[in-house]
């Protein structure tokens, strides 16, 4: 292996899906121990590029790709992910692939366990070898220590916090002795900031050992901090290949979307006190990974109210609990009326709508068309899009009204689709989110809960989503409660922001307060907690 030859080199790689060009003329190279940042909007071609590298069957099944991929100087055409793994490409996916009932050790060494010989092997073959638990533990410990994050090797995956899972996945790739290239797809999306920092540190350490890394992320600051080389993809083409010294977050962001992005938070004039529309008292919600222990807060009519906090502290649980999606207790009043918890239909009957953070699970009927998705809740809860016959004895679906409404929102929200009959599963993440929003708007709610409205969608769509929310708030007077992990996003749109820490609302501040103030609250600093503004304290 010649040292001057880069580990990975792509030459004019391109790909078409059924006449739809998703990648064109992508060429780059990646040296040993180098970290490459790959950024781009959703649909820019990042996943397709990685699928080509990883030999995913979907590529070969749709006519292969153009151009050449060289791995260690030799042309590589991996026909399956296993070929890629054998060659030394490791991939950590966005979705975790850990077995809940297995320990960290067992997960790291899945299907690569250390084994011991016994005589029965002669009859039944190698799979009847017994496991060498001691050696497995030793190997797991060494892989974990290489990352520099401490995890108990005997802990069950089902009991791990989400950050640990990410590290376990990486340790799994590290344990493969021949891993030369590690691909990380949005590894920090699920991590709290402190965990993300540890991850960045450990990736640096890994690259120093000679393993090259491709780092895909929407968090541009991390990319700039970590990567030695940054590749910006737009519409399937490389629009820039720079080094962190030559660029900054704003330049990259504008290259990604091809236009200048407005990032300055716009502050709205302070609002006079109006009536309270929603009151939550001692609310607890049992949402796995986002437990709410005690949340007390109230929201004013016509307000945009933000709920922020670090991942896993319970901010997502509040909306899910009020909407009845997870077991909850305590008291919630809307316009003075009690909401029966644990009963989604009852919550919806208070003219509350919810755009879930779980778009593909809760938010959408993936196999159904766009118009069905938009009309579904309104049809169930409010009898909209329903024609009644025989005095309501028979109910007919009003397809014409559904089509008209869908068409209106497709235009209004600029949803990119072939028609209102396209299935939701075929849309990109950003467009799916817009369908979710439209579904909520169709109900014309008084209160709209929106959770993580911009998670996993690109910069351009992000702005459109936030603008839409603000417009609905101003034009229809809808009270909006946004839950988001991105503080800057909350500060740019909200009137007031509540910070959730360890399942409790520990402070509610106007959005105009300096960012540092919120930062202190998020880490649960004592100085902030003793402040008189706090609602929902210990006693």
Q: For 469, phi and psi rounded to 5 degrees?
A: -60, -45
Instruction: Record the tokens describing residue 396, joined without a space.
Output: 């007919």
Considering beta carbons, is residue 93 or 301 the nearer one to other proteins?
A: 93
What is the spatial distance between Cα 239 and Cα 65, in angstroms, rounded to a whole number? 20
Considering beta carbons, is residue 327 or 515 the nearer one to other proteins?
A: 327
Give min distance, CB of 361 to other proteins, in A.
16
Give min distance, CB of 135 to other proteins, in A.
13
The string of DSSP letters for 29-66 reads: EE-TT-EEEEEE-TTSSHHHHHHHHHT-HHHHTTT--E
The contact pattern for other proteins, residues 285-304, with x = CB under 8 A and - = no contact, is: -x----x-xx----------
Nearest to 182 by CA among 194, 170, 168: 170
What is the spatial distance between Cα 214 and Cα 212, in angstroms, rounded to a whole number? 7
Considering beta carbons, is residue 114 or 240 the nearer one to other proteins?
A: 114
Q: Which of 128, 155, 198, 386 binds other proteins (CB under 8 A)?
A: 128
Give min distance, CB of 172 to other proteins, in A.
9
Query: Crossing angle, helix 162-175 and helix 193-208, to 10 degrees?
Result: 10
Binding of other proteins at residue 184 (CB under 8 A)?
Answer: no
Binding of other proteins at residue 117 (CB under 8 A)?
Answer: no
Considering beta carbons, is residue 127 or 208 the nearer one to other proteins?
A: 127
Considering beta carbons, is residue 146 or 281 the nearer one to other proteins?
A: 281
Cα 15 to Cα 39, 109, 508, distances in angstroms = 18, 34, 49
Instruction: Tell me the pairing of strands 504-510 and 496-501.
Output: antiparallel
Give min distance, CB of 370 to other proteins, in A.
28
Q: Which of 29, 115, 247, 444 binds other proteins (CB under 8 A)?
A: 115
Considering beta carbons, is residue 291 or 525 the nearer one to other proteins?
A: 291
Strand partners, 310: none
Q: For 37, phi and psi rounded to 5 degrees?
A: -95, 130
Binding of other proteins at residue 309 (CB under 8 A)?
Answer: no
Binding of other proteins at residue 129 (CB under 8 A)?
Answer: yes
Binding of other proteins at residue 282 (CB under 8 A)?
Answer: yes
Considering beta carbons, is residue 99 or 535 the nearer one to other proteins?
A: 99
Site residues for other proteins, window 405-424 (CB under 8 A)?
A: none
Instruction: Record the tokens describing residue 369, joined without a space.
Output: 């068309």
Q: What is the chain's length?
A: 539
Considering beta carbons, is residue 99 or 425 the nearer one to other proteins?
A: 99
Give min distance, CB of 447 to other proteins, in A.
24
Considering beta carbons, is residue 65 or 284 the nearer one to other proteins?
A: 284
Q: Which of 64, 100, 514, 537 binds other proteins (CB under 8 A)?
A: 100
What is the spatial distance between Cα 159 and Cα 171, in angstroms, rounded to a whole number? 17
**3-state SS class at 300:** strand
Beta-carbon contacts of residue 132 (< 8 Å; ≥ 6 apart): 113, 114, 115, 116
Binding of other proteins at residue 87 (CB under 8 A)?
Answer: no
Considering beta carbons, is residue 126 or 245 the nearer one to other proteins?
A: 126
What is the spatial distance between Cα 255 and Cα 41, in angstroms, rounded to a whole number? 10
What is the spatial distance between Cα 428 and Cα 435, in angstroms, rounded to a whole number? 11
Considering beta carbons, is residue 360 or 397 the nearer one to other proteins?
A: 360
Residue owning tokens 């496991």: 131
Q: Which of 12, 77, 274, 327 binds other proteins (CB under 8 A)?
A: 327
Binding of other proteins at residue 329 (CB under 8 A)?
Answer: yes
Give min distance, CB of 96 to other proteins, in A.
9
Cα 330 to Cα 101, 210, 285, distances in angstroms = 33, 54, 9
| Exposed/middle/buried for residue 75 (C-beta within 10 Å: 0-12, 13-18, 19+) | exposed
* Cβ contact 538:329 at 8 Å: no
Site residues for other proteins, window 495-534 (CB under 8 A)?
A: 503-504
Cα 48 to Cα 23, 35, 60, 77, 345, distances in angstroms = 8, 19, 12, 15, 40
Binding of other proteins at residue 99 (CB under 8 A)?
Answer: yes
Binding of other proteins at residue 386 (CB under 8 A)?
Answer: no
Binding of other proteins at residue 126 (CB under 8 A)?
Answer: yes
Binding of other proteins at residue 31 (CB under 8 A)?
Answer: no
Q: Segment near other proteins (CB under 8 A), from 52-60, 184-192, 284-292, 435-443?
A: 284-292
Instruction: Record the tokens describing residue 326, joined without a space.
Output: 């997870």
E strand or H helix at 193: helix 193-208
Q: Which of 5, 66, 113, 146 binds other proteins (CB under 8 A)?
A: 113
Binding of other proteins at residue 344 (CB under 8 A)?
Answer: no
Nearest to 298 by CA among 283, 277, 320, 270: 277
Instruction: Tell me the pairing of strands 496-501 and 304-308.
Output: parallel
Q: Which of 17, 82, 117, 396 binds other proteins (CB under 8 A)?
A: 82
Considering beta carbons, is residue 53 or 461 the nearer one to other proteins?
A: 53
What is the spatial distance between Cα 332 and Cα 278, in angstroms, rounded to a whole number? 7
The contact pattern for other proteins, residues 198-237, with x = CB under 8 A and - = no contact, is: ----------------------------------------
Instruction: Record the tokens describing residue 430, joined without a space.
Output: 């950003």
Q: Where are the beta strands (DSSP E) in 292-362?
A: 292-300, 304-308, 328-334, 337-338, 352-355
Binding of other proteins at residue 535 (CB under 8 A)?
Answer: no
Interface with other proteins: number of residues (CB under 8 A): 31
DSSP 425: G
Binding of other proteins at residue 154 (CB under 8 A)?
Answer: no
Give min distance, CB of 85 to other proteins, in A.
8
Binding of other proteins at residue 61 (CB under 8 A)?
Answer: no
> Long-range contacts for 418-421 (Cβ within 8 Å, ≥24 apart)?
420/369, 420/370, 420/371, 421/369, 421/370, 421/371
Please report, as ranges, the residues that interact with other proteins according to CB under 8 A. Answer: 81-82, 85, 97-102, 106, 110-111, 113, 115, 126-131, 282, 284, 286, 291, 293-294, 327, 329-330, 503-504
């Amino acid at each position: 292996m010649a040292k001057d030859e880069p580990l990975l080199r792509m030459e004019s790689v391109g790909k078409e899906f059924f006449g739809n060009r998703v990648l064109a003329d992508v060429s780059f190279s990646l040296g040993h121990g180098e970290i490459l940042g790959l950024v781009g909007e959703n649909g820019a071609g990042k996943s397709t590029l990685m699928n080509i590298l990883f030999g995913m069957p979907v590529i070969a099944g749709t006519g292969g790709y153009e151009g050449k991929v060289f791995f260690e100087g030799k042309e590589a055409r991996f026909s399956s992910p296993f070929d890629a793994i054998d060659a030394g490409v490791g991939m950590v996916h966005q979705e975790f692939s850990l077995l809940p009932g297995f320990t960290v050790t067992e997960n790291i060494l899945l299907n690569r366990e250390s084994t011991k010989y016994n005589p029965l092997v002669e009859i039944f073959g190698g799979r009847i070898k017994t496991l060498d638990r001691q050696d497995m533990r030793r190997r797991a410990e060494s892989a974990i220590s290489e990352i520099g994050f401490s995890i108990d090797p005997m802990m069950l995956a089902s009991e791990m916090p989400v950050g640990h899972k990410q590290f376990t996945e990486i340790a799994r790739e590290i344990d493969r002795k021949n891993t030369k290239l590690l691909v990380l797809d949005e590894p920090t999306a699920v991590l709290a900031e402190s965990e993300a920092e540890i991850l960045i540190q450990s990736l640096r350490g890994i690259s120093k050992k000679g393993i090259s890394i491709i780092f895909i992320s929407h968090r541009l600051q991390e990319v700039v901090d970590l990567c030695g080389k940054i590749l910006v993809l737009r519409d399937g083409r490389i629009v820039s290949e720079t080094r962190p010294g030559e660029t900054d977050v704003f330049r990259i962001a504008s290259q990604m979307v091809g236009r200048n992005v407005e990032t300055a938070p716009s502050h709205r004039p302070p609002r006079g006190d109006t009536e309270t529309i929603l009151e939550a008292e001692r609310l607890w919600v049992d949402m796995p990974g986002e437990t709410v222990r005690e949340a007390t807060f109230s929201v004013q009519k016509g307000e945009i109210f933000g709920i922020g906090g670090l991942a896993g502290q319970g901010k997502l649980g509040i909306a899910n609990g009020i909407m009845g999606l997870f077991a909850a207790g305590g008291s919630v009043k809307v316009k003075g009326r009690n909401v029966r918890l644990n009963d989604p239909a009852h919550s919806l009957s208070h003219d509350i709508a919810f755009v879930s953070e779980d778009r593909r699970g809760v938010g959408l009927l993936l196999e159904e068309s766009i118009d069905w998705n938009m009309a579904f809740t309104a049809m169930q809860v409010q009898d909209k899009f329903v024609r009644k016959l025989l005095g309501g004895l028979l109910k007919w679906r009003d397809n014409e009204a559904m089509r008209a409404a869908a068409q209106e929102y497709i235009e209004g929200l600029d949803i990119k689709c072939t028609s209102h009959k396209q299935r939701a599963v075929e849309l990109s993440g950003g467009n799916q989110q817009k369908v979710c929003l439209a579904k909520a708007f169709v109900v014309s709610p008084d209160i709209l809960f929106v959770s993580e409205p911009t998670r996993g969608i690109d910069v351009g769509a992000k702005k459109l989503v936030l603008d839409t929310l603000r417009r609905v708030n101003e034009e229809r007077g809808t009270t909006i409660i946004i839950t988001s992990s991105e503080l800057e996003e909350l500060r740019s749109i909200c009137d007031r922001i509540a910070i959730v820490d360890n399942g409790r609302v520990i402070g509610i501040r106007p959005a105009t307060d300096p960012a540092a103030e919120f930062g202190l609250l998020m880490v649960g600093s004592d100085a902030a907690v003793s402040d008189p503004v706090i609602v929902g304290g210990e006693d």
